[in-house]
């Protein structure tokens, strides 16, 4: 049993990128499904498919040397220390080149969407 499903998901993606694996299998949760939707919309993964036993993510690589699109994943808010912010203080990652994923009252969204909708919330993770 996994207590922190977001950290588990990020670790599985990070490990798959290190060994240049094409596919990652995740347990099916609503949060991981919403995170996959954001990652696909932002262009960090090719696609994801929901199966009866979980989620299959197809990772994205660039060039012949198979350089991963996701170079770094970092969990910010953890179960032991939650980090909340308002929309004015959402951090920029690499001057806007990376994204921060927030959990807002309107659901999970990127930092750009949260600033446009003037919503704050819990900072889940950052990736670039």
Domain residue extents for the chain: 5-68, 73-127
CATH 3.30.1490.10 fits 73-127, yes or no: yes
The residue written with tokens 């596919």 in the block is 23
- Helices then strands, counting H and E runs in the chain, come out as 3, 10
**CATH no. of 5-68:** 3.30.1370.30
Helices 30-42 and 5-18 cross at an angle (nearest 10°) of: 40
What is the pTM assigned to this prediction? 0.93
pLDDT digit string, tens, across residues 55-93? 999 999 999 888 999 999 999 999 999 999 999 999 999
What is d(CA 34, CA 29) in angstroms, rounded to the nearest whole number? 9
pLDDT digit string, tens, across residues 8-30? 999 999 999 999 999 999 999 99
């Amino acid at each position: 049993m996994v207590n922190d499903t977001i950290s588990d998901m990020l670790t599985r993606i990070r490990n798959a990128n290190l060994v240049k694996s094409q596919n990652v299998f995740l347990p099916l949760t609503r949060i991981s499904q919403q995170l996959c939707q954001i990652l696909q919309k932002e262009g960090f993964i090719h696609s994801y498919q929901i199966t009866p036993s979980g989620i299959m993510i197809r990772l994205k690589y660039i060039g012949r040397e198979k350089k991963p699109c996701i170079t770094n994943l970092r969990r910010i808010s953890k179960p032991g220390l939650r980090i909340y912010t308002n929309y004015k203080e959402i951090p920029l990652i690499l001057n806007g080149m990376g994204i921060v994923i927030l959990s807002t009252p309107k659901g999970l969204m990127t930092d750009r969407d949260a600033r446009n909708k003037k919503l704050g919330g819990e900072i889940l993770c950052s990736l670039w």
